[in-house]
Amino acid sequence: MKVVILGAKGMLGRDLGKVFYDLSPYLLDKDELDVTNEKGTSALFRNLKPDLVINAAAYTDVDGCETNKDLAMKVNADAPGYLARASRDVGAVFVHYSTDYVFDGGKSEGYKEDEEPGKFTRRGGGPLNFYGESKLAGENAVREVGGNYYLIRASWLFGLGGPQVDGRPINFIETILRLAQEKDELKVAAEKAPIIFAPNMSVGVNLAFALVEKVASVLDKDVADIEIVEMHHKHKVDAPSGTALGLGEAAAKGRGVNLDEVSVRSRDGHTGAREDGTIGFATLRGGDVVGDHTVVFACEGERIEITHKASSREVFAKGAVRAAKWAEGKAPGLYSMREVLGL
């Protein structure tokens, strides 16, 4: 099977490239194909003769679409029609990614696949903004062309790729991490909507946070040494993990100290005796480990260990869904998983 992925350098395109890696897909970005060039697109498809075309190319700068409407329409509205036609002409299946912004967001529950924008609304109907308008026009262009096609409406994408500013990717995770470091901004955002922030959304991990804080409050630095050991898959790029740091914060909070002042991130060579009151971190990487974390309270004559092991990433999603359900109807504010779980 010949697969063409458009927008291959974007967040979605990069992950699609990994999914179809075994099929050696053609990974095309704007440097390889100008999707707004109808003749160029048609000629390339006639040459490649793909079986499947996946369009992840889009002008996704929501604010930019308001000020650069011509470009938004070319990329988000005209180009999908060109791609759909070129795919149809060579007998390829065409998959086009759209957005939930084609709706106005006025419906209280989720939208179904067959619902049309403007049918369920509290805000006058139609797309939420011009970005949504341009994407809806793209959907309509694909429908008009016909052929064998699929339309996928996505919400906020989660991933590691995407555009960068100052060397850091602009994506959901990076945005929340940045806001977490800029507490004032996070609080400003929480004035408009309920926001639940946690270094890990797993219910089990958040129970471990609470347990670690409680144990640390009972076993002070003269009684127990605290070491945190974490292991993840070999592809993880940061260390210690955010969850390990969250466990460290919980231990430090239990003892009433600042983690930055007592943490020891590495040991090598002749280190001397362990300093009382420090919180040590050890990092392991290998295989496909989803996430293992153990907090060791080492005392004279006994040892207490609190361990959480994740065998599936599904636990993080389940925790996030539980948090979202809990947040429904809550007043704007900054909440934690402790409040979600009643801890």
Cβ proximity of 250 and 197 under 8 Å: no
Owner of token pair 């999603």: 317
Q: 136 is written with which tokens?
A: 């809806």
Mean pLDDT of 32-58: 96
For the four alpha carbons of 6, 127, 39 and 88, in that order, the dihedral sign comes to: positive
Is the pLDDT reported for residue 121 higher than 50?
Answer: no
Is the pLDDT reported for residue 113 higher than 90?
Answer: no
Out of 114-118, 170-174, 300-304, least confident range: 170-174
Is the pLDDT reported for residue 122 higher than 50?
Answer: no
pLDDT of residue 248: 95
Is the pLDDT reported for residue 41 higher than 80?
Answer: yes
Mean pLDDT of 158-162: 67
CATH T-level fold of 194-268+277-343 = Dihydrodipicolinate Reductase; domain 2 (3.30.360)
Looking at per-residue confidence, does 12 or 184 come out higher? 12
For 154, phi and psi rounded to 5 degrees?
-105, 155
Looking at per-residue confidence, does 125 or 226 come out higher? 226
Q: What gap in Å lies between CA 228 and CA 218, rounded to an integer?
A: 17
Specify the CATH superfamily of domain 3-159: NAD(P)-binding Rossmann-like Domain (3.40.50.720)
Looking at per-residue confidence, does 188 or 231 come out higher? 231
CA dihedral 51, 144, 9, 22 (to 10 degrees): -20
Is the pLDDT reported for residue 185 higher than 60?
Answer: no
pLDDT of residue 334: 80
Is the pLDDT reported for residue 51 higher than 90?
Answer: yes
52: how many CB neighbours lie within 10 A of its CB? 18
pLDDT of residue 104: 79
Which stretches does DSSP call E strand in 62-193? 93-99, 149-154, 164-165, 168-169
pLDDT of residue 103: 86
pLDDT of residue 235: 92
Is the pLDDT reported for residue 251 higher than 90?
Answer: yes
pLDDT of residue 173: 63
Task: Calculate the average pLDDT of the chain.
Answer: 88
7: how many CB neighbours lie within 10 A of its CB? 24
Residue 232 DSSP SS3: strand
The pTM of the full predicted model, rounded to 2 decimals, is 0.54
Q: What gap in Å lies between CA 342 and CA 336, rounded to an integer?
A: 10
pLDDT confidence of 63, banded at 50, 70, 90?
Answer: confident
- Interhelix angle 79-89/130-145, rounded to 10 degrees, is 20
The full set of domain ranges for the chain reads 3-159, 194-268+277-343
Residue 220 DSSP SS3: coil
Question: At a CB cut-off of 8 Å and minimum separation 6, what does 161 contact?
Answer: 9, 10, 11, 12, 13, 14, 15, 169, 171
Instruction: Tell me which residue of 341, 343, 342 sits closest to 322, measured CA to CA.
Output: 341
Q: What gap in Å lies between CA 269 and CA 63, rounded to an integer?
A: 53
Is the pLDDT reported for residue 253 higher than 90?
Answer: yes
Residues carrying an active site annotation: 232, 236
Instruction: Tell me which residue of 195, 216, 198, 193 sits closest to 297, measured CA to CA.
Output: 216
pLDDT of residue 129: 85
pLDDT of residue 62: 81
* Sheet hosting strand 291-299, strand order edge to edge: 263-264, 279-285, 224-232, 291-299, 303-310
pLDDT of residue 168: 57
Residue 326 DSSP SS3: helix
CB-count exposure of residue 91 (10 Å: 0-12, 13-18, 19+): exposed
CB-count exposure of residue 3 (10 Å: 0-12, 13-18, 19+): buried
pLDDT of residue 162: 61
pLDDT of residue 328: 84
pLDDT confidence of 112, banded at 50, 70, 90?
Answer: confident
